[in-house]
Amino acid sequence: MRTAIEITGVSRRYRSMTALDNVSLSLEKDTIHGLLGRNGAGKTTLMSIATAQDWPSAGEVKILGMRPHENEQVLPQICFVREEQRYIDDALARHAFAAAARAFPRWDDDLATSLARDFRVPEKTRIKKMSRGQRSAVGVIIGIASRAEVTFFDEPYMGLDAVARQLFYDRLLADYAEHPRTVVISSHLIDEIAHLIENVVVIDQGKILLQEPVEQLRDRAVTLVGRADAVAEIAGTREVLHQESMGRIVRTTVLGALDDAERRAVKEREVELVPVSLQQLIVRLTAREEAPMNSTTNPAMNSTTNPAQEVAR
Amino acid sequence: MSSAAVHSEAAKPVHADLASRSSFARVPAAFKLQFTVPSAMIGVPLIVFFGAWAVAIVIGLWIRHLADGEGEPFYTGASQATIWCLLFMAAYSASHTFPFSMALSYSRRVFVLGAFLAFAAISAGFGALFSVAILLERATAGFWAESYTFDLPLMTQNAGVLGAGLMAGAVCLSSMMIGFFWSILYRRVSLAMLWLTALAVMSALVVIVMVITQNDWWPHVGDWLAVQSSYTFAGWVLLLTLGLTVLNYVVIRRAVPTP
């Protein structure tokens, strides 16, 4: 695996809290990664440290094999526009794009112009006077048009309407196809970015809960819908991640793929095989991973109220 | 179309040239960053420069008119207006341009070099304008009202027009560094720590004044000031500015661009 981002034993402590706790992570080059987690999980802190905007209390970060902090050999290849990015006072969008064009060696001005038109970014409105969605669009355009080797998007959809969000996903993917690079997107909208990401990283309370390729993750579970006895027979001794009952019909999500015999049984017993949504799968898996931790901190908390379920909300 | 599907279709870019670039290759871009919105560092200070001057001239003419064209030369403090304006613009640079520079992935060192070179260029421009304004005031006898905003004895002391311009530029640069310092310090530390630092600086100044007073050194201070010229004053101010520059880099080195 060619590694773009290597994070080793990184911790970030503030006076009264620990934002990151001994995080180690290795993200593959030329891949779109999804960084998922609840508010305050440590996503932005992790991205800030990876892009040298913040400093770790302990540990080491390497981007494209180099330490990024105060390193002009690697920094021009990194782009991280924050969710609530601050721009130069009185700047118009074209001012921000012009500054970005001078900063990023691979900046594509035509692409930025085309994106600004598609996102309907107003030309004569100062950025500070724009709506939240329009400001987010300015950040998204800088992120895509920079063509930085390692690009981070911190919840880029904030304020964007459904059309603009889809436009972001489509344009990012189209440009990524022509110019592969490493992209890290933090998001709460897991299913919305599910088709976009190739690798999932879930973070909670400053710790990495899960890191896995999406395809591999999808193969880990299956949802069976049908009569309770038939579903129980096919599920066998597999670990049940989630189960819902609707009269005699049950909907059960179990760990593990089905073999050929089991697939035949699914047809014969009129059981329906439903693809597991990435969002639900991550919620269930992280709930399971967190269970021992939560049982020691809050025994009264059950899996349906587990904080990990908030990941997808 | 998924990202996995497109992954293998594209060619892999090569960026070996970036890795061999100089650490200071983006300093010119960081310099230009300060002028991204031309009104901030050029337009507004020019408006303040000429606006304050115009107001001072009108007041001078008015006073001369009230005195029936008689009276002593009239000196105004309007030349300070641009310096105060640029002090706040430098503070804006720390509060707004610095976070944006981080989004553009500048190292703090490159941002600081670009910003301080820009401040130096602006200060040099202010100093040059200051000298031209002195010449204009001399040519027109204070706009026919003996009203002087730039041709001040304090500024031209033992040095003339050029020395006054140099002194004005040095004071401007020093002020911009001070504005930048307080703004970046606010970003770096808590509000309580900011005020504690301000109190500490004020206390240090009071102690210096009290020590001079207690030892009856004021006549010596007066003698020392009397032999100084605008050139030597400018030298002292630039020395102070150098210290502020180092201090600013130390503070910004660990500053984080949170909103």
Task: Please write the tens of the pLDDT for every residue from B6-20.
Answer: 444 444 444 556 667
Reported pTM = 0.85
Task: Determine contact, residues B76/B149, Cβ cutoff 8 Å.
Answer: yes
Lowest mean pLDDT among B86-95, B177-186, B225-234: B225-234
Q: A 255-284 residues with CB below 8 A of B?
A: none
Q: Which two tokens stand for residue B49?
A: 């420069």
User: In terms of CA atoms, which chain B residue is nearest residue A81?
Assistant: B103
Put simply, the chain A residues between 226 and 255 with a CB less than 8 A from any chain B CB are: none
Q: Which of residues 49-108 of B touch A (CB under 8 A)?
A: 92, 95-97, 99-100, 102-108
Q: Per-block average pLDDT, block size 10, for chain A (313 residues)?
A: 93 91 96 91 94 95 95 96 86 96 96 97 95 94 97 90 94 96 91 91 92 87 91 88 88 87 88 86 75 44 37 42
Decide if A208 touches B, using CB distance below 8 A.
no
Taking only residues 28 to 57 of chain B, the set having a beta carbon closer than 8 angstroms to any beta carbon of chain A reads 29, 32-33, 36-37, 39-40
Give the pLDDT score at A307.
Answer: 39
Encode pLDDT of B92-148 as tens digits. 999 999 999 999 999 999 999 999 999 999 999 999 999 999 999 999 999 988 999
Say if residue B211's pLDDT is above 70.
yes
CB contact under 8 A, B10 and A180: yes
Tokens of B79: 């030349």
Strand partners, A225: A251, A272
Q: What is the DSSP letter of A238?
A: P
Cα–Cα distance, B172 to B176 (Å, whole number): 6
A32 touches chain B (CB under 8 A): yes
Largest CA distance in chain B: 88
**What angle do the packed helices A93-103 and A132-145 form, to 10 degrees?**
20
pLDDT at site B19: 62
pLDDT score of B2 more than 80: no
Percent of chain B with pLDDT over 70: 92
B257 in contact with A at a CB cutoff of 8 Å? Answer: yes
Residue A277 DSSP class: P
Say what the pLDDT of residue A262 is: 87
Amino acid letter, A240 = V
Region B199-218: what's the mean pLDDT?
Answer: 96
Residue A93, chain B, CB below 8 Å: the answer is no
Chain A interface, mutation test: which of B85, B93, B98, B102, most A Cβ atoms within 10 Å? Answer: B102
Inter-residue contact B151 to B140 (CB < 8 Å): no
Instruction: State the CB neighbour count (10 A cutoff) for residue B220.
Output: 11
Tell which wins on pLDDT, B69 or B11.
B69
The per-residue b/e assignment along A146-164, b for 16 or more CB within 10 angstroms, e otherwise, is bbbbbbbbbbbbebbeeeb
Contact A303, A291 (CB under 8 A): yes
Q: What is the pLDDT of residues A179-205, one digit of tens each?
A: 999 999 998 888 888 889 999 999 988
Q: Does B16 touch chain A (CB under 8 A)?
A: no
Q: Which of B12, B26, B27, B100 to mutate to probe the A interface, most A CBs <10 Å?
A: B100
Q: Which residues contact B231 (CB under 8 A, 6 or more apart)?
A: B158, B159, B163, B166, B167
The CA distance from A71 to the nearest CA of chain B, in Å, is 7
Contact A70 B19 (CB under 8 A): no
The mean pLDDT value for B47-59 works out to 96
Nearest to A148 by CA among B30, B101, B13: B13
How many CB atoms lie under 10 A from the CB of residue B207?
10
B28 CA to chain A: closest CA distance, Å?
A: 9
Is A249 strand, coil or helix? Answer: strand
Residue B32 burial class via C-beta count within 10 angstroms: exposed 0-12, middle 13-18, buried 19 and up: middle
Average pLDDT estimate for B180-207: 94
A173 touches chain B (CB under 8 A): yes
CB pairs under 8 A between A and B: 148
